[in-house]
Structure formats: structure tokens, C-alpha cells
Amino acid sequence: MYEQKSTLLNDARVRGWIAQALVLIILLGLSCYGIYNVGQNLQKSGITTGFGFLSEPSGFDISQTLIPYSSKSSYLDALKVGVLNTLLVSVFGIIASTMLGFFLGVIRLSPNWLVAKMAGAYTEMIRNVPLLLQILFWYLAILAPLPGPKAALNFQDVIFLCNRGMQIPKPIWGPGCEVVLASLIVAVLVSIGLIIWAGKRQRMTGKRFPAVWVSLILVVSVPFTVLAVTGFPVGWDVPALRGFNFRGGVTILPELIALWLSLTLYSATFIGEYVRAGIMAVDKGQREAAQALGYRPWLMYRMVIIPQAMRVVTPPLIGQHLTLIKNSSLAVVIGYPDLVHVFAGTALNQSGQAVEIICITIAVYLTISLVISAFMNWYNNKYALRGL
């Protein structure tokens, strides 16, 4: 019996299971103690727990809402507004920073000495300045000193820029717009299918099909044709100065502009370095082979260099996108109504449900990050380099 026990303990797998079980028991014990301790402290303070407060009226207004909301709306509605505002700046920041980052990564390797050095100087300057300072710079030094509505910067009497934000025209959807929207969705889906088909066809036969240009023509021409057939049911509500402020149109808050610019410019410098490293990781012979086949530089990058570089760029790019989403929580410094400001700030102070609100906020950020990480990991696994 003793020898059997010794044999089991000498097995590395058994020792590993025992160690993992002990760690799990310790973590469960600490978690139970923490939950019990929090419950006791809340009970002593007379604070009720639970998520019933989410159905109560919030009692505060929010400066930017993508869904109908007022001070009579519930805390759950305030949570939705905060999540949507966070997603708004995060999605636009991810798109813009990725595009700018790819551009920076390519021009840093430009044979033009001046262009390469200017891109390098920009990268080193922006990424070595704390993001919080950049947000404050754009908000306090650039946007706040802009003139008021009466002296706003005017772009063809359609777009106005002042210290209260940017006023742009608002589309007014009339009868028949559903058909236009449906045609746009169909055109996009057909374009995606066309690009996928063209890629498979090229891999199998070596023949190229201008899928990108055909897709662009489809996405533009099909909805425009439907618009013409339905009598152009889309109008525009152009902002106009009325008294001391603008009426009509859509107002883009200066807080949103400052946060978006800061996140985009800051994240793009890191993405640019990932792209530069990915391009440099591509074997030199690939470039020489493309040149020998007569590929022009832009075509060489699009068809040969960038597809191979993406296999190296994608893993750190995932982390940078997740970092951008989490960095958006710095919006609270300038008052942009994101999730942290609206829910973990104002709603927490109004309701006093600190534990529940913080747990919900953590869960929302965790869910957003895991969804984006899952999609990017799927893409990375699909196109990753395979070992021989």
C-alpha cells in the first residue's frame, strides 16, 4: 500500500493535479471569505444589496445619448447609454488608429529620407507622452479656446465648429428609406461574398478578378439607384444659428472629439511599430521576387508584403485594440459620458450601490474585450503561419 502511494506521488501528473486542487481550494476559500466580509460590512453600514435599483429612475440627465433617455429613465437605461457611448468612441478609434497605424508603419520604411524621419519623429513623440496629457491637450488647448457659436468656423454653411462642438447635418428619413437601407445591406453582403469568391478563385486558378472595385461600384450604385427610384426620400436637417446656439443637425461634443483624436493618434503609433516589424519580418526574397515579376510598389505591398506581414502583426494588434477600449475610460477626466463616467460615477453616487455597479462595469468591459479578442484570435488562427 505504501509503495502504491509512493508511486502515485512520484507521478508528475498526479502531483500536478494535487497542486492545482490545492490552489483551487485556496482561491475558493479566499473568494468566500471576501464575499462574506463584504456582506458583513454592508450590513453594518445599513446598505441594501441587490440589483433591484436598476429599475428605479436615475434622476440625472446625460449630455450625449444614442437612445431615448431622460432623468426619468432607469439606471438600466443609463447603463445602456454609457455602454453605447463607450462603444462609439472605441469603434471609431479602432478603425481610425488601425488605418493611420498601417500608413505610419509603411512610410517609416519609405526610401524617402525626409518622410521616414518625419514618421519616426511623430511616432516617438506621441507614444512617449502620457495619453492623459494628450487628452487634456486636445480638450483644453485646442478645442476649448475655439470661438463661440456666433463666431464659429464655417464650412460652406453646412458644418460649424465652435467651443461647443461640431455641428453637422442630420439625415431625415422619409417613407421608402427602408428599401434604401435594405438595398445597401444587400449590396454590402454581395460585395463580401464577391471578395471571398475572388480570393478562392485566385488561389485555385491564379486568375485575378477586380473584386474590390466591383464591390465599391455595387455599394455606391445600388443604393443610389434605389434612392432615385424611390424619389430620394432622405432629407437633411442643416444646423443654423438661432440666438446664442445652433438649432438642428447633430452636435458632436468637444469631449468626444478630444477623446477620439487622442486615442486614435496615440494607438496609431504603437500599431505603426507593429506593422513596421511585420513588414521587416517578411523575407527579403519575397520583395525581390515581386519586383522581378514587375509588380509596382503599391501592388507589391498589397499582394505580397502586407498579407504575409499580417500574420506577425495580428497578435499584438489584438492587445492594442483591447488597450484602446480600456483607455477610453479616461474620458471621465474631460466629462465625456462613457460607461465609467455615467454608470461607475454619477449612477454610483446617486444610488449608493457601489459593489453592484462596479461589478457590472467590470463585467461589461470584460465582455467587450473577450468578444473582440475572440474575433481577432479567430482571424489570427485562420491566417497564422503553419509549421512544416
- Residue-wise pLDDT for 311-358, tens only, equals 888 888 888 999 999 999 999 999 899 999 999 888 888 888 888 898
Are 209 and 193 within 8 A, CB to CB?
A: no
Q: Give the confidence band of 388 by pLDDT, cuts at 50, 70, 90.
A: very low
Report how far residue 317's alpha carbon sits from residue 312's, in angstroms, rounded to the nearest whole number. Answer: 9
pTM of the model: 0.83
Number of H helices, E strands in the chain: 14, 8
pLDDT, tens digit (0-9, with 9 covering 90-100), for 281-308: 888 888 888 888 888 888 888 788 888 8
Which residues are CB-neighbours of 222 under 8 A, at least 6 positions away? Answer: 183, 184, 186, 187
Report how far residue 164's alpha carbon sits from residue 143's, in angstroms, rounded to the nearest whole number. Answer: 9
Mean pLDDT of the chain: 85
Report how far residue 264's alpha carbon sits from residue 92's, in angstroms, rounded to the nearest whole number. Answer: 8
Report how far residue 307's alpha carbon sits from residue 385's, in angstroms, rounded to the nearest whole number. Answer: 11
Q: Judge whether residue 198 has pLDDT over 60.
A: yes
How large is the C-alpha radius of gyration of the chain? 27
DSSP states along 35-82:
HHHHHHHHHHHT---SSGGGGSB-----S--SS---TTSBHHHHHHHH
Q: Give the confidence band of 247 by pLDDT, cuts at 50, 70, 90.
A: confident
Helix, strand, coil in percent for the chain, rounding step 5: 70, 10, 20
Closest CA to 144 of 332, 335, 326, 329: 335
Task: State mean pLDDT over 84-95.
Answer: 93
